[in-house]
Structure 1
Amino acid sequence: MDNDPRAGLAERIAGEITLSSDPGATLRKWRTDFEVSQTELATELDVSSSVVSDYESGRRESPGIALVSRLVRALLDIDERRGGDHIRQYARVLSAGFDSDVVLDLQEYATTVPLADLYDAIDATEVVAGDRDRVSGHTIIDSIEAITRLRSEDFYRLYGQSTNRVFGFTNVSRGESPLVALRVVNPTPNAVLLHGLSPDELWEHAPALAKRDGFSLAVTTADIEDIRSELHSLA
């Protein structure tokens, strides 16, 4: 793990932008992930908003290393002034022993949250009610990366401080792989959220597996960044 999470995150962002086949789109991804507007970033850089817009749209030549460094530093400075939530999130994922390509978000809440309120906040539909109706944290996982790269014992570390949480899976087609993978994990989380599905698209055996293991099962098609933002507002 990086001793300095900010430095580690800066290196990651700069590397992604520099090596990307579309640096502008990658810059836009990180800016929106940090919930920073083009105007805020431009002000931090002391340039006009159109300059940021031009880089993100590809109207300007790809930014050089020096400018990428300034852009990354500006994003991190803004985040630190706001309390450093994104830097701390990066540190939490690394401290759990995962790459942030696998675990997109991991958060503990100050108090337990009713699942019904959480589902309302992220526009999720509960398909199966679980044995427990409150959670105290969430873990959002890229299902493809997790299933191809993690061993069964690694899934226990995804719980963070408690199994009393929502496991959210992205990159889901019907939900078969995540639910089968959870069969090897005991105990199971309080709730499983499958992203990118409507109830009609869900694997037909998914409800039965959820009922068997006693966890709530929900689906949502909301934007993943909106989901992360809403979940963090619950913390």
Structure 2
Amino acid sequence: MARGPRRELAERIAGEITLSDDPGATLRKWRTDFDVSQTELADHLDVSPSVVSDYESGRRQSPGIGFVDRVVQALLDIDERRGGGRIRQHARVLSAGFESDIVHDLREYPATIPLSRYYDAIDATEIVAGGQDTVAGHTVIDSIEAITRLSSEEFYRLYGQSTNRALVFTSVTRGESPLVAMRVVTPTPNAVVLHGISEDDLWEHAPDLARIDGFSLAVTTLDLPDLLDGLGELP
């Protein structure tokens, strides 16, 4: 029987928690990635919120495989009840041939949207205006994992079906690495968003590189789960 995206994601989450040196912290990471509160998860598991809190903090012995499986299925059930956004993100990333620790989301839109609308959805501030003012898709990328693990050919596949898109780089400190990487990958996207930094934190040469290559450059400090939710509300 074929393994669907839900099962593949369940296996990934359960494996990470079970093999982690700090299972409670890994459980907490996935719970927050799914934007599920301790109370909501506890209600779904029919336990008190203190049980979830104790496991996440390490006050209780590491959760067994049975409890981990219940937690994973609960997170996926809650996601499906909300429309299945996280499961679909995982499926899109896998279908593009990437690991989900490198690419958080990759999506094509049915029609182009104004870049201003895209920035509003992720609370981004444009630093440099580019040559195009629309996007037709996005890719959300862990900058460190992508730069250290992807070949130039694989890096190009981050564009998905079109370069008429925004590339969002997470795990950014100042922006040097992703913007230097953009210089050796052609063609360039319509927009590059640096996640986790403000304009004051931005590498001083970043605006000049964006102007040279003609793409819009923006920054956002929105939490990653909220950013993914904002992108999920786009058409």
Determine if the TM-score, normalized by the shorter chain, exceeds 0.5.
yes
Give 1:24's aligned amino acid. G
For residue 217 of structure 1, report the CA deviation from its aligned partner: 0.3
In structure 2, the residue matched to 1:24 is 24
Query: Cα distance, 1:133 vs. partner?
Result: 1.0
1:83-130 CA-to-partner distances (Å, cap 9, x unmatched) read 322112111111111111111121223432222222233222211001
Q: Is the 8 A contact 1:24 1:57 kept in 2?
A: yes
Deviation at 1:183, TM superposition (A): 1.6
The TM-score normalised by the length of structure 2 is: 0.92
Amino acid at match of 1:38: Q
**Is the Cα contact below 8 Å between 2:85 and 2:232 reproduced in 1?**
no
8 Å contact 1:107–1:232 — kept in the other structure? Answer: no
| TM-score with structure 1 setting the length | 0.92
**Shift of the alpha carbon at 1:231?**
1.5
Structure 1 residue 140, shift from structure 2 partner: 0.9
> Which residue is equivalent to 2:229?
229
Q: After the TM superposition, which of the residue ranges 167-176 and 103-112 deviates more from structure 2? A: 103-112
1:157 aligns to what? 157
Alignment partners' CA distance in 1, 2:177 and 2:54: 41
- Residue segments in structure 2 that go unaligned for 5+ positions in a row: none
What amino acid does structure 2 have at the position aligned with 1:13? Answer: I
Q: Which runs of 5+ in 1 are unaligned?
A: none
Distance (whole Å) between structure 2 residues aligned to residue 212 and residue 50 of structure 1: 54
| Alignment correspondent of 1:200 | 200
Aligned counterparts, 1:123-162, within 5 A: 123-162=123-162
**1:171 aligned onto 2:145:** no
**Residues 96, 10 of structure 1: CA spacing in aligned structure 2 closer, same or farther, 3 A cutoff?**
same
1:7 equivalenced with 2:7 (yes/no): yes
Runs of 4+ aligned structure 1 residues displaced above 6 Å come to none
- 2:213 maps to 213
Look up the match of 1:47.
47
Aligned to 2:106: 106
C-alpha displacement at 1:72, in angstroms? Answer: 0.7
Measure, in 2, the Cα distance between the counterparts of 1:3 and 1:138. Answer: 26
- The number of equivalent residue pairs is 234
CA RMSD of aligned residues (A): 1.7
Contact 2:122 2:227 in 1 (8 A): yes
Tell me the CA shift for residue 53 of structure 1.
2.2
